[in-house]
Amino acid sequence: MLETLISFVLATATLAISPGPDNVFVLTQSIVNGKKYGLATVVGLMIGCIIHTTLVAFGVSEIIKQNPNLFFLIKLFGAGYLMYLAYQVYKSDAEIAFSTTNVQKKSTMQLFKTGFWMNVLNPKVTIFFLAFFPQFLFSDSLSNVLQFYVLGGLFILTSFLIFSSIAILAGKISNYIKQHKKVGIYLKWAQIVVFIGIAMLILL
């Protein structure tokens, strides 16, 4: 149980650190507008994750209860989707590109709403949760809904800590990225290893 949760947190941390539209958006807002604006965006993004966790928790838990064979197919879909994500990352450019030009000044409430809706209206987040979370169910005694919420809580907490660090240390992070061009390559391959590793655990 504990090993499964630790593995989940480590995988989540790797994916949260790796460059993506959400953390790059937080980084640019923090550089241009200041730390509290980046943090407002982070809070919006994390609250959006609660919605996706709820959709997956109740949807998949009902499927597990009604049809275990269908749940097995969901796990196979998850493995396939994670392999697809690994391939997409492999094809992508390793260079971390972010621009601070033409970034509009917004209030903290506006950025909170932007972060929230960016997350909630992105169907890829629900698909990712659907592929990612069922692989880490950790107990035969706890209800599946509760387990999904525990995983969702750990995902949100881990991502919040990392995204908040990005917001607070935005200036130093941007300077480091500019000075160390290979950091993007390392993070790119870290993502690929996580996606393929989880997929292989499912298939094997």
Q: With bands split at pLDDT 50, 70 and 90, how would you rate the model's confidence at 181?
A: confident
**Amino acid 203: pLDDT:** 79
Neighbours of 182 (CB within 10 A): 9
Please say if the pLDDT value at position 103 is more than 80: no
**Amino acid 101: pLDDT:** 67
The answer to whether the CB of 55 falls within 8 A of the CB of 130 is no
- CA of 151: how far to CAs of 2, 14, 175, in Å? 12, 16, 33
Percent of the residues in the chain that have a pLDDT greater than 70, as a whole number:
96
Please say if the pLDDT value at position 40 is more than 80: yes
Please say if the pLDDT value at position 97 is more than 80: no
**Amino acid 148: pLDDT:** 95
**Amino acid 14: pLDDT:** 93
